[in-house]
């Protein structure tokens, strides 16, 4: 299957600072990217959907000014957690959707980024 | 969104088959049944999907009930590496929907 990478895999930041997480589709063009958040012992929660060159669409309850999403190219999306607080500590997972080899739309997931805010 | 229900957790002995059930009584005619799994501290990975007929791949088999209101993911020989959370998700045939995760089934494999 296609490969989606995330960087960094782990990050620790101080409360009040901002942190940027990158998501890249390595061998296909991702027309749509998704960002999920997962707290311990819980399922993945969709935060937002972004299409290349457009503003992201946020799920209900997700603060768009706190979680800035940029999808500037067909292979890169970034999530910036602004003014991070300890309650933002979580596992952030991106997902990319694009045309697979069969031509069908498929969605692939990154390995996740563990954010710890101290 | 059409919903699925799965048991919260299951256990299996290593090297034995595992049958993970999923109920989706409100499935529509254009919904594919997808299975993903998430190993500890990793992102989800695709396992298998099907529409009406049973499907096999190198990872697992998918058995779909004739009325499509339920399905079963079959791991033919569980290994310790199969310990994960397994998610059964309905997706529109076009694949342009968002993947929404439920609680899934946490599978433990006993050595």
The residue behind tokens 């960094």 is A8
Of the pLDDT bands very low, low, confident and very high (cuts 50, 70, 90), residue A82 is: very high
Is B101's CB within 8 Å of A111's CB? no
Measured between beta carbons, which residues in chain B are less than 8 angstroms from residue A103? none
* Torsion angle of C-alpha atoms B77, B79, B84, B85, degrees rounded to 10: 10
Q: Answer for the pair B65, B23: CB distance below 8 angstroms, yes or no.
A: no
Residue B97's pLDDT is 80
- Which residue is closest to A39 within chain B, CA to CA? B41
Q: What is the pLDDT of residues B13-58, one digit of tens each?
A: 999 999 999 999 999 998 999 999 999 999 999 999 999 999 999 9
Is pLDDT larger for residue B8 or for residue A71?
B8
């Amino acid at each position: 299957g296609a490969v989606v990478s995330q960087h960094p895999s782990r990050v620790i930041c101080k409360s009040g600072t901002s942190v940027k997480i990158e998501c890249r589709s390595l061998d296909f063009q991702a027309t749509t990217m998704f960002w999920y958040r997962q707290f311990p012992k819980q399922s993945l929660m969709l935060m937002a959907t972004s299409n290349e060159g457009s503003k992201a669409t946020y799920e209900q309850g997700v603060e768009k000014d706190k979680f800035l999403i940029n999808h500037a190219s067909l292979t890169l999306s970034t999530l910036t957690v602004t003014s991070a607080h300890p309650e933002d500590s979580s596992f952030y997972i991106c997902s990319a959707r694009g045309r697979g080899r069969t031509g069908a739309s498929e969605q692939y997931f990154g390995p996740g980024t563990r954010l710890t805010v101290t | 969104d059409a919903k699925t229900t799965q048991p919260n957790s299951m256990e299996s002995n290593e090297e034995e088959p595992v049958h993970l059930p999923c109920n989706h009584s409100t499935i529509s005619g254009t919904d594919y049944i997808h299975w993903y799994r998430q190993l500890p501290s990793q992102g989800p990975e695709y396992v298998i999907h099907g529409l009406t007929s049973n499907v096999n791949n190198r990872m697992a088999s998918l058995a779909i009930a004739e009325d499509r209101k339920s399905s079963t993911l079959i791991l033919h020989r569980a290994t310790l590496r199969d310990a994960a959370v397994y998610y059964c998700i309905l997706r529109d045939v076009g694949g342009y929907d968002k993947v929404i995760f439920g609680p899934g089934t946490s599978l433990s494999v006993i050595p």
